[in-house]
Amino acid sequence: MPIVNTETPTIPQSVGKRSYIIPFMLVTSLFFLWGIANSLNGTLIKHFQTALNLNLGQAGIVDSAFYIGYFVMALPSAFLMNRIGYKKGILIGLFLYAAGALLFYPAAEMRVYGFFLFALFVIACGLAFLETAANPYVTVLGDQSSAESRINFAQSFNGLSIIFGPVVGSLFIFSSVEYSNDMLNAMPVAEAEAIRIAEAESVQLPYLIIAGVVLLVAFLFAITRMPEISSASEKEASFKGITRHRHLMFGVMAQFFYVGAQASLWGYFINLKLHFAKDQHLTLVQWLYPIAENMTPTQIASFHASFALVLFMIGRFVGTWLMTKISANKLLSAYAAACVVLITYGLMSSGLSAVIAISLTYFFMSIMFPTIFALSIKGLGSQVKLGSGLVIMAIVGGAVLPPLTGWLGQAGVENALIIPLLSFLVILFFGMTGYKVKGT
Residues of the chain above pLDDT 90, percent: 36
pLDDT at 14: 43
pLDDT at 372: 95
What three-state secondary structure class fits 440?
Answer: coil
Our measurement of the distance from residue 349's CA atom to the centroid of its chain's CA atoms, rounded to an integer in Å, reads 29
Closest CA to 150 of 158, 160, 141, 159: 141
- CA–CA separation, 155 and 32 (whole Å): 8
Phi, psi (degrees; rounded to nearest 5) at 174 = -70, 140
The answer to whether the CB of 367 falls within 8 A of the CB of 316 is yes
The CATH architecture one would assign to domain 18-230 is Up-down Bundle (1.20)
Q: Computed over its alpha carbons, how large is the radius of gyration of the chain?
A: 22
Q: What single-letter DSSP state applies at residue 324? A: T
The answer to whether the CB of 31 falls within 8 A of the CB of 157 is yes
- Answer whether residue 332 shows pLDDT above 90: yes
- Answer whether residue 13 shows pLDDT above 50: no
Predicted confidence band of residue 112 (pLDDT cuts 50, 70, 90): very high
- Answer whether residue 61 shows pLDDT above 60: yes
Closest CA to 393 of 76, 100, 114: 76
CB burial readout 404-427, b (16+ within 10 A) else e? ebbebbeeebbebbbbbbbbbebb
- This prediction has a pTM of 0.77
pLDDT digits (tens, 9 = 90+) for 188-237: 778 778 887 888 888 889 999 999 999 999 999 999 988 866 554 555 55
Closest CA to 281 of 222, 195, 356, 178: 356
The answer to whether the CB of 126 falls within 8 A of the CB of 93 is yes
Tell me whether domains 18-230 and 241-440 share a fold.
Answer: yes
241-440 maps to which CATH number?
A: 1.20.1250.20
- CA–CA separation, 437 and 168 (whole Å): 42
pLDDT digits (tens, 9 = 90+) for 14-33: 444 556 788 889 999 999 99
The answer to whether the CB of 307 falls within 8 A of the CB of 359 is yes
pLDDT at 166: 65
Q: How many helices (H) and strands (E) does the chain have?
A: 19, 0
* Domain residue ranges in the chain: 18-230, 241-440
The answer to whether the CB of 415 falls within 8 A of the CB of 408 is yes
- CA–CA separation, 213 and 371 (whole Å): 28
Residue 196 CB partners (closer than 8 Å, separation 6+): 50, 51, 52, 53, 111, 184
pLDDT at 103: 97
pLDDT at 342: 98
Predicted confidence band of residue 6 (pLDDT cuts 50, 70, 90): very low
| Amino acid identity for residue 20 in this structure | Y
pLDDT at 238: 57
Predicted confidence band of residue 152 (pLDDT cuts 50, 70, 90): confident
For 178, 201, 262, the CA distances from 173, given in Å and listed in that order, are 12, 9, 25
> Residue 96: how many CB atoms within 10 A of its CB?
24
pLDDT at 439: 53
Average pLDDT over residues 344-373: 94
Phi, psi (degrees; rounded to nearest 5) at 10 = -135, 160
- CA–CA separation, 62 and 58 (whole Å): 8
- CA–CA separation, 255 and 262 (whole Å): 10
Residue 321's DSSP bridge partners are: none
- Answer whether residue 137 shows pLDDT above 50: yes
Predicted confidence band of residue 44 (pLDDT cuts 50, 70, 90): confident
Predicted confidence band of residue 56 (pLDDT cuts 50, 70, 90): low
| Amino acid identity for residue 158 in this structure | N
The answer to whether the CB of 62 falls within 8 A of the CB of 267 is no
Average pLDDT over residues 263-289: 83
What three-state secondary structure class fits 103?
Answer: coil
Closest CA to 251 of 384, 346, 113, 161: 384
The answer to whether the CB of 396 falls within 8 A of the CB of 256 is yes
Mean pLDDT, rounded, of the chain = 83
Q: Which residue has the higher pLDDT, 372 or 436?
A: 372
pLDDT digits (tens, 9 = 90+) for 401-433: 888 888 888 788 888 899 999 999 999 999 999
